[in-house]
Amino acid sequence: MALIVQKYGGTSVGTPERIKNVARRVLETQQAGNQVVAVVSAMSGVTDNLLKLAHEVSSPEHPPTEREIDVLLATGEQQTIALTAMAINALGGKAVSLTGAQAGIQTDGVHTKARIADITPTEVHEMLDAGHIVILAGFQGQTRDGLITTLGRGGSDLTAIAMAGAIKADLCQIFTDVDGVYTCDPRVVPVAQKIDVISYDEMLEMASSGSKVMQSRSVEFAKKFGVRFEVRNSMNNNPGTLVKEEEPGMESVVVRGVSIERNQAKITIDDVPDRPGIASRIFGAINKANIVVDMIVQNVSWEAETDISFTCSAADLPKAEAELRKVLAELGPHASFRSQAGIAKLSIVGIGMRSHSGVAARMFGALSNAGINIQMISTSEIKTAVTVNESEIEQAAKVVHTAFGLDKA
Amino acid sequence: MALIVQKYGGTSVGTPERIKNVARRVLETQQAGNQVVAVVSAMSGVTDNLLKLAHEVSSPEHPPTEREIDVLLATGEQQTIALTAMAINALGGKAVSLTGAQAGIQTDGVHTKARIADITPTEVHEMLDAGHIVILAGFQGQTRDGLITTLGRGGSDLTAIAMAGAIKADLCQIFTDVDGVYTCDPRVVPVAQKIDVISYDEMLEMASSGSKVMQSRSVEFAKKFGVRFEVRNSMNNNPGTLVKEEEPGMESVVVRGVSIERNQAKITIDDVPDRPGIASRIFGAINKANIVVDMIVQNVSWEAETDISFTCSAADLPKAEAELRKVLAELGPHASFRSQAGIAKLSIVGIGMRSHSGVAARMFGALSNAGINIQMISTSEIKTAVTVNESEIEQAAKVVHTAFGLDKA
């Protein structure tokens, strides 16, 4: 008998009919001889409706407090757990619902993006031992003082992975609307293949490079606590992608996947003094404006002045430009900047890169052969990323995918 | 500084605009120098929608379990407390929401109609002392083991009255869509007047006689714990009706109000043996079919056989007849029954009836003068009730209302 945690997102439980489907799948998992905890999200649309109401009773000068937003939003998952438990009971199963608080999920007090501090799954164990399926509310917890909190984006994945760790589940299954993690987005590279096994670090690099199957946060949590999990499709029975700790054999694959991120922009600040404090002043200003900076490149300078480039989302470009204009005077007498939207990022990810040489060269060669110009280059231990013109990103992904032997046979 | 508990029903908080109105009223009450706890219900329509979803995921053979119904329905009030607190904060006030559990409302484990077992209002006091308005979820509580429960019909009134008792509030205001309790339904008797003060027992008899301003259960609770409360209109600032313990001067009014209940039916079982066990057999069968019996009349019999009559709602008549047919053979060789729908009940209520004689005679005289035939008579210490043909109930109410000097000057 295995102990399995499953997670179903808002789309999978978006209608009464879909809740019944989830109920069937959960019940089948138990009937196959397992103990099951199913984590569910709010029905799709519910959270948005609640936020709309919140804004209707508030005002721009007095936006809703985060404490009350959490009290409000937590009702979405609470509704789904009750409905899912009912649906399982209607099929003749035995299910009980538990809110985050009832399941012993204790968080810090940072409303709307709380962190899980501790899990005391007494009630979960008792219910499982009594033969029940436990339907657990994702996305929510309770502070030590009994305040209702929510975990922010990707919170239900986090609930599933954290609970799987706390109850030492044999398997954690994250059900979503794709079959798993792919070597590249199949809409861009039709010959992309589903990845059977991927390490936490590779999954993290893929996520941060645009493959948004899961939030990095949940993967980081899983890595920290050694929770293996599988990303699967809730609409079929295909095997998914297993995300786990690194193992020796995994390095034999040089590149696990190719990830693309569109709608990027780059800014180059020219002729800034090559001395301490300059980068800090630039990115301090950018950060204060809540702009997420992705790649940062500064070349070795042989002169008194140097150039710094960075990328951000194209949507943030006007804000970034405005911030830079404010600090430009502080960046030395010759400083100026240029910007360009319409670029995209291409990354190759694989722990095999650590032990194989010539990986970057092979990537650059493939792009060169296709006549695609590389604008910026940034590397980490298990990732090499470049930016290209957005118009060339699909072709770039295809040729790199082929160059590393990732195409479906 | 007074400590005031207010309660607003589902209609009063039915839209974002109405929630803002409630927020204004609550804030004004605080700004007048009071501490305020506001109990709110689910927005009108929300509970029905949730029940609809519950039935969509269930089946007639496996109806939703009551445990899960409570988890589901409790979200309705939880949404309103968050939205109401937001609306008060948007007006510049300081409000916090508390669920039943957070406010220390502990109940027994009878899901969907739990009874309040204990209240530990630590959090309520702390929040009030910190200068906050407390917005409390009506209708819900938590068992000692942390299960979510709901209190059943009229549950939010009960929450308000019980909390008012627990925190020793100076006043409990039940806001509704009428100005208070009237001497008779003003749609029937246009000269009916709002009652300024009424005793718990009179209010109970009025409620059980069809004046459904509040459920008897909440009034009983208020009586038991000596909680004075006021029934007021949430749409205006008119003074309401104060419901309180009996005081000597109250008996000077003979009849406090006239109450009518339509859509009744009566059944007379003729020629049943006048010996022990007969009434028990009849009403045992009726009770098993979940039929609520109102008046029961059995006359003193001078022979071996007697007649028993009772009333129930006309809707329940077919069920009652079916039950009686089943047990008729056990009720003696000559037993038979007759039934009649289309009747109505008229009651006069007043603690003054205890110390004034001739009250019933005056009622009967008024009806007789109007040519209205009395079918059944039933009396309690502070109530006299009769049944008449439904077609005559409005005229009956008018003449009795006049006879006891209740008409507006």
Please give the Cα distance from A165 to A171 (Å, whole number): 10
Please judge whether B90 and A59 are an interchain contact, meaning their C-beta atoms are less than 8 angstroms apart: yes
Please give the Cα distance from B138 to B122 (Å, whole number): 17
Please judge whether B57 and A16 are an interchain contact, meaning their C-beta atoms are less than 8 angstroms apart: yes
A14 has a chain B CB within 8 A of its CB: no
Distance from CA of A236 to the nearest CA of B (A): 21
Report pLDDT for A305.
Answer: 82
Report pLDDT for A104.
Answer: 98
A53 has a chain B CB within 8 A of its CB: yes
The rounded mean pLDDT for chain A is 93
Chain A contacts of B71, Cβ < 8 Å? 78, 81-82, 85, 97, 99
Burial of A340 (0-12, 13-18, 19+ CB in 10 A): middle
Give B222-256 pLDDT, tens digit per residue.
999 999 999 999 889 999 999 999 998 888 888 99
Report pLDDT for B210.
Answer: 67
Distance from CA of B386 to the nearest CA of A (A): 46
DSSP state of B328: G
**Residue A221 above 90 pLDDT?**
yes
Give B89-143 pLDDT, tens digit per residue.
999 999 999 999 999 999 999 999 999 999 999 999 999 999 999 999 999 999 9
A123 has a chain B CB within 8 A of its CB: yes
Please give the Cα distance from B121 to A76 (Å, whole number): 27
SS3 B195: coil
Report pLDDT for B356.
Answer: 86
Report pLDDT for A231.
Answer: 95
- Of the partner residues B68, B81, B123, the one whose CB lies closest to the CB of residue A86: B68
Report pLDDT for A121.
Answer: 97
Q: Cα-atom radius of gyration of chain A, to the nearest Å?
A: 24
Label residue A335 by pLDDT band (50, 70, 90). confident
B51 has a chain A CB within 8 A of its CB: no
Angle at A197 between CA A196 and CA A200, to 5 degrees: 145
Rounded to 5, what percent of chain B is helix, strand, coil? 40, 25, 35
Question: What is the identity of the amino acid at A303?
Answer: E
Mutate to test the interface with A, among B71, B91, B102, B132 (most CBs of A within 10 A): B71
Report pLDDT for A334.
Answer: 86
Report pLDDT for A393.
Answer: 97
Please judge whether B91 and A62 are an interchain contact, meaning their C-beta atoms are less than 8 angstroms apart: yes
B408 marked among binding-site residues:
no
Q: Which residue of B has its CA nearest to A46?
A: B79
Q: Count CB neighbours of B344 within 10 A.
A: 24
Report pLDDT for A357.
Answer: 85
The rounded mean pLDDT for chain B is 93
Hey, what are B274's tokens? 């006048």
For the entire predicted model, the pTM comes to: 0.87
Please judge whether B75 and A72 are an interchain contact, meaning their C-beta atoms are less than 8 angstroms apart: no
A249 marked among binding-site residues:
no
Rounded to 5, what percent of chain A is helix, strand, coil? 40, 25, 35
**Residue B166 above 90 pLDDT?**
yes
DSSP labels, B294-351: EEEEE---SSSEEEEEEEEEGGGHHHHHHHHHHHGGGG-TT-EEEEEEEEEEEEEE-G
Closest by CA position to A230, among listed A193, A270, A279, A176: A176
Q: How many beta-carbon contacts under 8 Å exist across A and B?
A: 127
Give B60-92 pLDDT, tens digit per residue.
999 999 999 999 999 999 999 999 999 999 999
DSSP state of B304: S
Chain A contacts of B123, Cβ < 8 Å? 146
Hey, what are B237's tokens? 């600032």
Give A129-143 pLDDT, tens digit per residue.
999 999 999 999 999
**Residue A331 above 90 pLDDT?**
no
A90 has a chain B CB within 8 A of its CB: yes
Q: Which helix (H) or strand (E) holds A344?
A: strand A336-349
- Of the partner residues A71, A84, A96, the one whose CB lies closest to the CB of residue B97: A71
Please judge whether B90 and A58 are an interchain contact, meaning their C-beta atoms are less than 8 angstroms apart: yes
Domains and CATH numbers, chain B: 3-176 (3.40.1160.10), 258-403 (3.30.2130.10)
Distance from CA of B22 to the nearest CA of A (A): 11
- Of the partner residues B19, B54, B78, the one whose CB lies closest to the CB of residue A86: B54
B377 has a chain A CB within 8 A of its CB: no
Q: Count CB neighbours of A244 within 10 A.
A: 18
Q: Report the pLDDT averaged over residues B390-405.
A: 96
DSSP state of B236: S
- Of the partner residues B53, B91, B97, the one whose CB lies closest to the CB of residue A83: B53
Alpha-carbon distances, residue B42 vs A98, A145, A187, B197 (angstroms): 21, 25, 45, 29
Please give the Cα distance from B39 to B136 (Å, whole number): 5
Strand partners, B198: B243
Q: Cα-atom radius of gyration of chain B, to the nearest Å?
A: 24
Q: How many Cα neighbours within 13 Å face the side chain of B161?
A: 29
Distance from CA of A338 to the nearest CA of B (A): 43
A96 has a chain B CB within 8 A of its CB: yes
Question: What is the identity of the amino acid at B367?
Answer: L
Please judge whether A53 and B81 are an interchain contact, meaning their C-beta atoms are less than 8 angstroms apart: no
Chain A contacts of B82, Cβ < 8 Å? 54, 68-69, 71-72
Q: Are B29 and B5 in contact (CB under 8 A)?
A: no
Q: Are B150 and B73 in contact (CB under 8 A)?
A: yes
Beta strands in A18-132 (DSSP E): 35-40, 95-98, 105-107, 116-119
Strand partners, B178: none
Q: In what order do the strands lie in the sheet with B133-137?
A: B95-98, B133-137, B35-40, B3-8, B171-176, B229-233, B241-244, B197-199
Chain A contacts of B146, Cβ < 8 Å? 101-102, 123
SS3 A215: coil
Label residue B16 by pLDDT band (50, 70, 90). very high
**Residue A210 above 70 pLDDT?**
no
SS3 A289: coil
Distance from CA of A58 to the nearest CA of B (A): 5
Report pLDDT for B86.
Answer: 98
B16 has a chain A CB within 8 A of its CB: yes
Mutate to test the interface with B, among A52, A62, A68, A73 (most CBs of B within 10 A): A68
Please give the Cα distance from A345 to A339 (Å, whole number): 16
Q: How many Cα neighbours within 13 Å face the side chain of A45?
A: 5
Strand partners, A198: A243
The backbone torsions φ and ψ at residue A349, rounded to the nearest 5 degrees and listed phi first, read -130, 135
Please give the Cα distance from B369 to B176 (Å, whole number): 37
Label residue A278 by pLDDT band (50, 70, 90). confident
Distance of CA A150 to the CA centre of its chain: 17
Strand partners, B106: B118, B142
B249 has a chain A CB within 8 A of its CB: no
Q: Which residue of A has its CA nearest to B16?
A: A57
What percent of chain B is modeled with pLDDT above 90?
79
What percent of chain A is modeled with pLDDT above 90?
79
B123 has a chain A CB within 8 A of its CB: yes
Q: Which of A13-22, A246-255, B234-243 has the lowest mean pLDDT?
A: A246-255
Pairing of strands A116-119, A105-107: antiparallel
Report pLDDT for B409.
Answer: 82
Please judge whether A62 and B96 are an interchain contact, meaning their C-beta atoms are less than 8 angstroms apart: no
A200 marked among binding-site residues:
no
Chain A contacts of B23, Cβ < 8 Å? 57
